[in-house]
Amino acid sequence: MTGIGLAIDAMGGDFGPRVTVPAALTVLRENPSLRLTFVGDESLIDPFLSGLTAGERFRVSVVHTTEVVTMDDKVAVALRQKKQSSMRLAINLVHQKTVSACVSAGNTGALMAISRFVLKTHANIDRPAIMAALPTMTGHVHMLDLGANVESEPHHLLQFAQMGSVVAEVLDGIERPRIGLLNIGEEEIKGNDLIKQTDQLLKQSGLNYIGYVEGVGVFKGHADVVVCDGFVGNIALKSSEGVAKMMAAKIKEEIGRNVLTKLLGALALPIWKGLKQQMDPGRYNGASLVGLTGIVIKSHGSADEASFAQAVRVAIKEVEKNVPALIHARLTVTASAVPDAI
């Protein structure tokens, strides 16, 4: 059977099959050549398949397992003791080339550890990274690492930049993506040793490196790709999500203050809807675990149907563009030209 095949960790996330299955089926109906393999408890998955047409059902299969990696499971437990979990079996399908990609809303640490163990990284990549698109004033920016590597060396950040450049190039059609290094200021004297040493490597890399980018510059769209270590990146990501939620709550509070504000809010409803659509985190759901030999997409654990469906679409796009192969090819070509790690 031709077309794209995806494995869906049906049990992952806060809501499990109640969200993951209907969301993925929405994308199935959008893509006549898409095949889905749901991995999880068949008794919980099957009820959501009853409304499929015969043609749609033909493109859906279920791999049954009752073992689940919970959000509270330690990485070692998920990796060593839960070898029949829905997450592990879904990633195994990618390794076996039964499917082209895996989508999971499960435990991030476990997903990264299992993916790295099963799929491995490319020869010229030391560590995979978590990369996602974030909204900006001019469109969006790709940012990595968002939490896979709490501690990194300068040559790791260089590799992140190289991988990010490939992803922005193939997914967004940008010929030479602008690469920025997240820092506490744009001045040359700013930053710790990691930042300063990475800056020197990036200047010699041949990438379209534009220098340091401050936090505010990320959302002003100063760069197409912003590179940082996972500790900083995860804090930046969670902080931006928190600010967005706070602003939404404050706007709602002010609109409901009295009759006049409610009336003005109603008149401005088209504006609010447009703003919400642009800023909706679900629109950007679907983080890539870049650097692996296969495609694994991480959905937010609290994703609703629309958000999880977006993560599935990200997986399809990466399969269509063959992102892992392009990253491998690019880093293989540049490996001999990369300066020694500092």
The CATH fold assigned to 130-281 is: Isopropylmalate Dehydrogenase (3.40.718)
Question: For position 206, what pLDDT does the model report?
Answer: 92
Contacts of 154 (CB under 8 A, 6+ apart): 194, 197, 198, 200, 201, 341, 342
Cα 286 from Cα 33, distance rounded (Å): 21
Decide whether 5-125+291-327 matches 130-281 in CATH topology.
yes
Rounded to whole angstroms, how far apart are CA atoms 140 and 224?
Answer: 7
pLDDT of residue 335: 64
Q: Which of these, 93, 145, 99, 161, lies nearest to 288 by C-alpha position?
A: 145
Domain 5-125+291-327 homologous superfamily, CATH: Isopropylmalate Dehydrogenase (3.40.718.10)
Instruction: Say which residue the tokens 């889905």 belong to.
Output: 36
Give me the average pLDDT of each 10-residue run along the chain (342 residues). 88 95 97 96 96 94 96 93 96 96 95 95 90 90 92 94 94 94 91 94 94 93 95 90 82 84 81 70 85 95 93 96 90 63 43
Q: What is the pLDDT of residue 36?
A: 97
What is the per-residue pLDDT for 341? 44
Find how far residue 176's CA is from the centre of its chain.
21
User: C-alpha distances in angstroms, 257 versus 60, 267, 269, 325?
Assistant: 49, 15, 16, 54
Domain residue ranges in the chain: 5-125+291-327, 130-281
Give the global pTM.
0.89
- pLDDT value of position 264: 81
Q: Give dist(CA 190, CA 108) in Å, integer.
A: 32
For residue 336, what pLDDT is reported? Answer: 56
